Amino acid sequence: MKSLFSPIPSNTKSIIAVLRIIIGAMMIYHGAEVFNPVQMKEYAQWDMFKNSGSPALMPYIGKSAEFLCGLLLLLGLFTRISALMLIISMAYITFKIGHGKFWYEDQHPFMFVLFGLLFFFTGPGKWSLDHVLFKPKAKYTTYK
């Protein structure tokens, strides 16, 4: 009971890793629409894409970014770069496509922006290729 009210973080690296893996899997799921030409053609018909210079290309860029950042997050590879891709693409969906109605209509993409911020500032947590490839220094791993 004492630990429930403690201000000291508990299992932070593991929790961050679990969240990163789940969010990565969700982004892969959403981004996999890039492989569905019928769905992509439907997205290109949206008014906000019709007015752009290349309406067929914009949905492919967005869905490819979702798929790629999801894959990178799932693996924990280049976590901060993939988090930045997540923030940019989901902020575009929230504020440009959805007109910034994140309190009501666009909560889903805005939540991904918030998770992107979390991973950008905390890193991958445990169980990541970033830890294997870029061996963190002990002085920077003070949380558990």
Average pLDDT, stretch 122-143? 79
Cβ pair 123, 72 in contact under 8 A = no
- Is the pLDDT at 143 greater than 60? The verdict is no
Question: Residue 17: what pLDDT?
Answer: 96
- What's the pLDDT score for residue 27? 98
Instruction: Provide the terminal-to-terminal Cα distance of the chain, rounded to the nearest Å.
Output: 19
> What would the two tokens of residue 54 be?
């290349």
Chain-centroid distance, C-alpha 21:
10
Contact 100, 116 (CB under 8 A): no
Which pLDDT does position 51 carry in this prediction?
A: 77
Q: In Å, how far from its chain's centre is CA 39? A: 21
Q: Give residue limits of the domains in the chain.
A: 8-140
* 3 state SS of 24: helix
> Using CB atoms within 10 A of its CB, is residue 30 exposed (0-12), middle (13-18) or buried (19+)?
middle
pLDDT-derived band at 55, boundaries 50, 70, 90: confident
pLDDT tens readout for residues 2-52: 677 888 888 899 999 999 999 999 999 999 999 999 999 998 888 888 777
Q: pTM for the complete prediction?
A: 0.87
**What pLDDT score does 1 carry?**
58
pLDDT confidence of residue 115: 98
pLDDT at 114: 97
Q: Looking at this protein, which amino acid is placed at residue 93?
A: I
